[in-house]
Amino acid sequence: MLADQPFLRIPGPTPVPPSVQRAMNQPMIGHRDQETKDLLHRIKPKLKPVFGTDQDILMIAGSGTGGLETAVVNAVRPGDEVLVIVTGAFGDRFAQICTEYDITMHRIDVEWGEAAEPETVETYLKQHPEIKAVFATFCETSTGVLNPVYELSQVIKQQSDALFIVDGVSAIAGAEMKMDDWGIDILVTGSQKAMMLPPGLTFATVSERAWDVIENNKRPSFYFDLTKYRDQLENDSTPFTPAISLLFGLEQVLSLIETEGLGAVYNRHLTMMNMTRAAFKELGIPLLTSDKAASPTVTAIAPTDFDPEALRKVLKNEFNLTVAGGQKHLKGQIFRIGHMGYCSPADMLQTIGIIEVALNKIGKPIELGSGTRAAQEILLGGS
């Protein structure tokens, strides 16, 4: 392997396009100067289609988890009842944040590797009419599940007046999102996943209905007060120092997405998902999720006859290819391949081919090339 040729195939952070890296290398500008105002003014309209909304997208210097906490602290007050749908480690993170803020929390725990069922949520809301907000994860990164947020939103709106708050961190710009049409009230994401940037930016967008709740929430908040970001963005500014280099990169990211076309971006992610799943099915290695629940941005593999950590070690040490391991109780039981953002079907053919060699090296009997061939067939078929 070459020391300076890493192959990063984890579900975030993800590789950054060279043109985006170059954009971020621009000389620093004053965060209160006209250049920054002009930059934000150009970015604002281009962000909206990625989220599927007519609302402005608020940009906060921070991580994806900062976005989750921002949603909680703005939309919910201590003592309010909320429902958290937990389908993995990041649904559980929403639950932990609610607990820290003394919120009365209900939770629906779904078996890891399975998607949330709207019928279960509907029944729960009928039994608990005081719930003020429902939290869910769009793509559960820890399991590779894409939750049916549109269907969840429908039952939430039918059965309650609760806000629907969605973690879109490892899905936005990789999976289709129609926030307004789907009835999502608060949607957050981070920069380091399908948005093709380094870590350091969190994005939040808010429905008119949610703004009414936020404006009447008198809980003290300083840095994470969304009304400050909304009011300043109207003037093409931010309440606090923005991550200017990341904003330079973001403008280039949005240009790349615009050039490719959002529909083509989503189709590329679906193709990579189908290629990856077809390859491991052909190799006889079980997948954690069903085809119906699978995410277009990350695939979780659950082998039964070899150690995933041994595979990861060979991939890293001999090929400089990094894939992710399992989290919490799935640690040492699964491995996860990220295929989002600056990633193409060609990258996945390379990744699958390397994994086949590594499987051979750890003693897993496979027919070399069979997984790659299955992925090639998907690509040739245009799936």
- For residue range 168-204, what is the model confidence (pLDDT) as tens digits? 999 999 999 999 999 999 999 999 999 999 999 999 9
What is the dihedral angle through the alpha carbons of 191, 173, 372, 351, rounded to the nearest 10 degrees?
A: -10
Residue 46 burial class via C-beta count within 10 angstroms: exposed 0-12, middle 13-18, buried 19 and up: middle
Which residues of the chain carry a pLDDT beneath 50?
none
CB of 109 closer than 8 Å to CB of 93: no
Q: Find, among 193, 377, 166, 151, the residue nearest to 271 by Cα.
A: 377
pLDDT at residue 3, as a whole number: 85
- The span from the CA of 249 to the CA of 21, in Å, is 7
CB of 113 closer than 8 Å to CB of 269: no
In order of their start, the domains of the chain are 7-14+261-381 (3.90.1150.10), 18-258 (3.40.640.10)
- The span from the CA of 244 to the CA of 349, in Å, is 35
Residue 160 burial class via C-beta count within 10 angstroms: exposed 0-12, middle 13-18, buried 19 and up: buried
The annotation places the binding site at: 336
Q: Find, among 210, 193, 211, 212, the residue nearest to 202 by Cα.
A: 193
| Residue 287: DSSP 8-state | B
Distance spanning both ends of the chain, measured CA to CA: 32
pLDDT at residue 51, as a whole number: 98
The annotation places the binding site for substrate at: 336
pLDDT at residue 315, as a whole number: 98
pLDDT at residue 382, as a whole number: 60
- The span from the CA of 368 to the CA of 126, in Å, is 53
Where on the phi/psi map is residue 58: left (φ > 0), alpha (ψ -120 to 50), or beta? beta
pLDDT at residue 218, as a whole number: 87
